[in-house]
């Protein structure tokens, strides 16, 4: 069974940094693209970033480009999201999501429960 | 950027009703569209991909149709467990979600 377990969320001041982690199990990590999707309180879903199975291809939403970096550690079966220069509008639950192929297509078939990031002074 | 617009924003229906949710894309996305269900406090769950393909394990009362810019999600006979918020998502160019449709059971 596929499991995605996010961690690393918390409270941070504007301008600060956080690194989110997502430990995966139940599938061959390198065979699937991964994504981060966030949901602000009471709001809808917003795709944040994606990475191919090999890790060679990454993509970002305009709202986070230049501030966030997605990466994956194959030896640890872990996905990361390094978030810098955080803003109040980055406050959200961040979900780790598995893709349906090694090439990042945007389709997401299994979601983690998420980790909460709060950016406030 | 491709914008996705869902309608209605909220709907209330009775058990057994046929329910239809519409999703419109700001430009053609071929059939690169998915539908997700999210229940309060839970992660979203994939229902439909490639506009009309049913994800494994999803009840057959759910169906999707459309191509280009107009898409629909239909629940043929609404069940008590179908409450929640439904999102469409385009994955033709990066990824964009609709604003969601909240389904309530009367």
Provide, as residue numbers in chain B, all residues whose Cβ is less than 8 Å from the Cβ of A61. Answer: 94
- pLDDT at res. A104: 85
What is the percent of chain A where pLDDT is above 90?
94
Provide, as residue numbers in chain A, all residues whose Cβ is less than 8 Å from the Cβ of B98. Answer: 44
The pair of three-digit structure tokens given for residue A30, joined into one six-digit string: 């390198």
**CB contact (8 A) between residue A108 and residue B46:** yes
**CB contact (8 A) between residue A35 and residue B49:** no
Q: Binning pLDDT at 50, 70 and 90, where does residue B4 land?
A: very high
**What's the mean pLDDT in A47-53?**
96
- The CA distance from A34 to B2, in Å, is 21
| β-strand pairing of B10-13 with B101-105 | parallel
**CB contact (8 A) between residue B55 and residue A109:** yes
**What's the mean pLDDT in A3-18?**
97
Per-residue pLDDT tens digits for B88-103: 999 998 999 999 999 9
Closest CA relative to residue A95, chosen from B25, B77, B46 = B46
- pLDDT at res. B86: 98
- pLDDT at res. A45: 96
Mean predicted lDDT score pLDDT of chain B: 96
Provide, as residue numbers in chain B, all residues whose Cβ is less than 8 Å from the Cβ of A107. Answer: 34, 49, 91
- pLDDT at res. B38: 96
- Residue A2 contacts by C-beta under 8 Å, 6 or more apart in sequence? A24, A25, A26, A27, A98, A110
Per-residue pLDDT tens digits for B44-67: 999 999 999 999 999 999 999 999
- Residue B54 contacts by C-beta under 8 Å, 6 or more apart in sequence? B47, B48, B60, B62, B63, B64
State the Cα angle at B38 between B41 and A111, rounded to 5°: 85
Q: Binning pLDDT at 50, 70 and 90, where does residue A105 land?
A: confident
**CB contact (8 A) between residue B95 and residue A47:** yes
Q: Binning pLDDT at 50, 70 and 90, where does residue A103 land?
A: confident
**What's the mean pLDDT in A68-72?**
97
Residue B51 φ then ψ, to 5°: 70, -35
Beta bridge partners of residue A107, listed in sequence order = none
Please say if the pLDDT value at position A97 is more than 90.
yes
**How many inter-chain contacts (A to B, CB under 8 Å) are there?**
53
- The CA distance from A86 to B93, in Å, is 26
With contact defined as beta carbons under 8 Å apart, do B12 and B104 qualify? Answer: yes
């Amino acid at each position: 069974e596929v499991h995605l377990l996010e961690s690393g969320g918390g409270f941070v001041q504007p301008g600060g940094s956080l690194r989110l982690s997502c430990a995966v199990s139940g599938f061959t990590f390198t065979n699937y693209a991964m994504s981060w999707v966030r949901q602000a309180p009471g709001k809808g879903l917003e795709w944040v970033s994606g990475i191919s199975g090999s890790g060679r291809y990454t993509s970002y939403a305009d709202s986070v480009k230049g501030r966030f970096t997605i990466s994956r550690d194959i030896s640890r079966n872990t996905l990361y999201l390094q978030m810098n220069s955080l803003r109040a509008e980055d406050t959200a639950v961040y979900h780790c999501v598995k893709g349906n192929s090694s090439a990042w297509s945007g389709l997401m078939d299994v979601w983690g429960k998420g980790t909460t990031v709060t950016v406030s002074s | 950027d491709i914008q996705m617009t869902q309608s209605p924003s909220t709907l209330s229906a009775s058990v057994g009703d046929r329910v239809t949710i519409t999703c419109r894309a700001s430009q053609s996305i071929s059939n690169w569209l998915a539908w997700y269900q999210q229940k309060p406090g839970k992660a979203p769950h994939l229902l439909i991909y490639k506009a009309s393909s049913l994800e494994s394990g999803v009840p057959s009362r759910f169906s999707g149709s459309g191509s280009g810019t107009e898409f629909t999600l239909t629940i043929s006979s609404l069940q008590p467990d179908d409450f929640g918020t439904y999102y469409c998502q385009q994955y033709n160019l990066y990824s964009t979600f609709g604003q969601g449709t909240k389904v309530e059971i009367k």
